[in-house]
């Protein structure tokens, strides 16, 4: 049972709420528009199953800011038919990180666009910034920006997983996939528990495209770290550690090179402005 659900609503503000030990998902925002959540604290044990902190589905124009989330599942999860989701100053841990998905289960369509995370601390989470889709799905994830994120002893800090499988039996190999494109990681720093600090496991038939890394520095606690790519196209600039040379690049269409700071995704205009917060 969920602790709090906002469903089929608009113009909602939630502030200063504490949710503790929900039986299932703590806070759901469903089929709603213009929802602003601030200073919400979620507390569930790190081993509690299916206790997502804030779960967003079928919703648009959602702002989360100054939220502290500890849980046994995703701190924030964003799933199908959600767009213009803005997150600012999010603390996550314990938990499974900040996730888009899962999408595409049972050959379904998943669409998530215009997601911005600006300023977050993830501490001892099992994933960091994750996009997860099942094989066989359709739809797309695009215009996503993760910026100014600090990781502390995080497993899988940067992860795109298009082979996600949470079924009791193994998932069948399928060729269709949710298309993932125009994803930017900027100013991502900290420590990782995983040797593969950056992992882009993308579909062979529907590759990830326009993946951009800008000033990413992830250090392993116990030795070397590396990046892994499968069917992922993009590039990095600034300091990139571990090196993401496994990204391949065809062209830079979709990027604006007029900025002196380097390429900027079309999501730039979706970035949270001070006037909004």
Give the residue numbers annotated as catalytic, written as ranges: 96
Looking up tokens 């359709």 gives 138
Question: Please, what is the end-to-end C-alpha distance for the chain in angstroms?
Answer: 31
Task: Check if the beta carbon of residue 104 is closer than 8 Å to that of residue 138.
Answer: yes
């Amino acid at each position: 049972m969920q602790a709090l659900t906002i469903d089929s609503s608009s113009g909602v503000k939630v502030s200063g709420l504490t949710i503790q030990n929900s039986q299932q998902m703590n806070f759901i925002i469903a089929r709603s528009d213009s929802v602003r959540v601030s200073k919400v604290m979620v507390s569930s044990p790190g081993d509690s199953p299916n206790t997502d902190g804030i779960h967003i589905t079928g919703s648009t124009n959602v702002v989360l800011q100054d939220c502290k989330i500890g849980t046994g599942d995703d701190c924030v999860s964003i799933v199908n038919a959600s767009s213009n989701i803005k997150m600012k100053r999010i603390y996550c841990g314990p938990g499974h990180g900040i996730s888009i998905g899962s999408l595409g289960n049972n050959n379904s369509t998943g669409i998530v666009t215009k997601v911005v995370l600006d300023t977050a601390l993830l501490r001892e989470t099992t994933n960091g910034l994750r996009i997860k889709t099942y094989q066989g799905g359709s739809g797309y994830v695009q215009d996503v920006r993760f910026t100014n994120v600090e990781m502390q002893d995080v497993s899988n800090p940067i992860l795109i997983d298009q082979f996600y499988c949470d079924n009791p039996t193994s998932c069948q190999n399928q060729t269709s996939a949710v298309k993932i494109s125009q994803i930017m990681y900027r100013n991502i720093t900290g420590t990782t528990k995983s040797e593969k600090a950056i992992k882009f496991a993308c579909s062979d038939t529907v590759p990830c495209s326009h993946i951009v890394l800008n000033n990413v520095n992830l250090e392993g606690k116990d030795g070397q770290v590396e990046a892994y790519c499968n069917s992922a196209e993009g590039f990095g600039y600034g300091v990139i550690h571990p090196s993401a040379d496994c990204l391949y690049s065809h062209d830079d269409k979709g990027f604006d090179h007029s900025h002196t700071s380097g390429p900027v995704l079309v999501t730039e205009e979706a970035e949270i402005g001070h006037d909004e917060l």
